[in-house]
Amino acid sequence: MLQSWLPVPSDSDFSIHNLPFGIFSDERPARAGLAIGEWVVDLAAAYALNMFPHYPEAGSAFRKPVLNDLIALGRGFSEYVRKIVQAALCDRESALNQFSDHLLVPLKSVQMHMPLKVGNYTDFYSSEEHAFSVGQMFRPENPLFPNWKHLPVAYHGRASSIVVSGTPVPRPWGQTGQPGGVPAFKPTNALDYELELAFVIGKDSAIGRPVAVAEAEDYIFGLLLFNDWSARDIQRWEYQPLGPFTSKNFASSVSPWIVTWEALQHFRVPAPPQEPEPLPYLAHSPRQNFDLSLSVSIKPNNGEEFLVCKTHSRNIYWTAAQQIAHHTVTGCNLQPGDLLATGTISGREINQKGCLLEATLNGTQPVMLKNGVERRFLEDHDEVIMRGFGQKGDIRVGFGGLRGQVLPALHSFP
């Protein structure tokens, strides 16, 4: 069992087994760091002390305000960095301890930034419980479309508006359908969150060359916690026939820390069996998910925080490898910095639903926060807090949370 000389609270997401990558700033500009307990390891400073002698090119990657260059150096590089820092954290004689005033920055004193410039963002629809219960609301006789069990349904989302945890999200204005046929234009009445995980692509694939499902996991750098904000009333009116557009492109939020592929390996579990069997290009064995505990809380304005969802990621129907194989099946290329999100992750029970659309049956059955305080959809000033972590024995690895507060809509429209 690894033991650090740096005290790490036992319930910290940032154990010695995790060491996720992020971009932070203090009085100096934004740069790359690793989280450990209540500290950030300043990788640019560690590089200057010659802690990473095998990668002379790493210095410029560590000083960039996004992790894309670091990610593009490959998983071999990120493993190397984590191993060196892990060893240093376990060695009282290490330079990290000796120069800790210089190399360790308190987490509470830093500002976290968007960890990467997202190239392309794709949102899947891979939780069967989610697809089924949403489908049931709108097509009770036939909740899953005929394609759903044959391919991981997905759509291309908007990359430019992905923001880091802590960034407030104004309630959007938009068009909504009305009984008379003439649409209304007003701030959304059905603002929702979506609890998701997003895989960060770490490697280029060539255009015209599908990625084989057996090799697909090699393309994953790590994982983010992801909130795909949605305006349900706008979505309902606009989505036919080409899918959601302005109802989802106003913002998605990511955790500031990317948990690496290696740190996730402790939490592999078998994915649920698939019936019917998928086509050969989607068949792999063993099919595995990561078993992470996930939750969503709502914190009304200046109030306490209330748990509204407690679920996990072990039952996702389409694995990350299957998502990648399908994404590239016709020849689409992947690039480092792309995100592939799972889509809303839900369980069967009403308190396991990853969005309010499901948890409140489209606003008809409010969730109770406490006596007299309920929610059908999000209200102004609500803060949405998502958490995610894996725990296996004493090993805990997590994202450190993902927060975003709803701001009131613009007073009048431009």
- Binding-site size for its own copies (CB under 8 A) equals 69
Q: How far is the first Cα of the chain from the last one, in angstroms, to the nearest whole number?
A: 59
Candidate ranges 83-91, 247-255, 288-296, 301-309; the one touching its own copies (CB under 8 A): 247-255
Assigned token pair, 55: 């990668």
Q: Which of 247, 239, 240, 229 is nearest to 174 (CA)?
A: 247
Residue 209 labeled ligand binder: no
N residues, the chain = 414
DSSP classification of residue 96: H
- Closest CA relative to residue 130, chosen from 223, 230, 224: 230
Query: Which part of the chain contacts its own copies (CB under 8 A), choosing from 38-46, 88-96, 175-183, 291-299?
Result: 175-183
Q: Which residue has the tokens 């971009």?
A: 23
Please choose, from the candidates 326, 65, 68, the residue with its C-alpha nearest in 3D space to the C-alpha of residue 203: 68
Task: Tell whether residue 173 is a contact of its own copies (CB under 8 A).
Answer: yes
Q: Compare residues 88 and 282 and give the one whose CB is closer to its own copies.
A: 282
Cis peptide before 140 (omega within 30 of 0): no
What is the three-class DSSP state of 214? helix
SS3 assignment, position 276:
coil
Per-residue contact string for residues 264-303; x = within reach of its own copies by CB under 8 A:
------------x--xxx----------------------
Tokens of 398: 């997590």
Residue 139 assigned to a binding site: yes
163 near its own copies, judged by CB under 8 A = yes
Identity of the residue, 128 or 291, whose beta carbon is nearer to its own copies in the bound complex: 128
User: Which of the following is catalytic: 17, 113, 130, 312?
Assistant: 130
Cα angle at 100 between 96 and 104, to 5 degrees? 95
Asked if 41 is part of the footprint of its own copies (rule: CB under 8 A), the reply reads no
Nearest CA-CA partner of 14 in 22, 307, 347: 22
- Count the neighbouring beta carbons within 10 Å of the beta carbon of residue 36: 24
Query: 252 with 172: CB under 8 angstroms?
Result: no
Interactions with its own copies, residue window 205-244 (CB under 8 A): 207-212, 231, 234, 237-244
Site track 302-341 with its own copies (rule: CB under 8 A), x = hit: ------------------------xx-xxxxxxx--x---
Least separation in angstroms between CB 16 and its own copies: 36
User: Distance (Å, rounded) from C-alpha 53 to C-alpha 380?
Assistant: 50
Q: Is 194 annotated as a binding residue?
A: yes
Residue positions forming the annotated binding site for Ca(2+):
123, 194, 196, 228
Residue positions forming the annotated binding site for substrate:
125, 139, 235, 239, 344
- Positions marked active-site: 130
The contact set with its own copies (CB under 8 A) reads: 119-120, 123, 125, 145-147, 150-151, 153-161, 163, 169-170, 172-175, 177, 181-183, 185, 188, 207-212, 231, 234, 237-247, 249-251, 276, 279-281, 326-327, 329-335, 338, 413-414
Residue positions forming the annotated binding site:
123, 125, 139, 194, 196, 228, 235, 239, 248, 252, 344
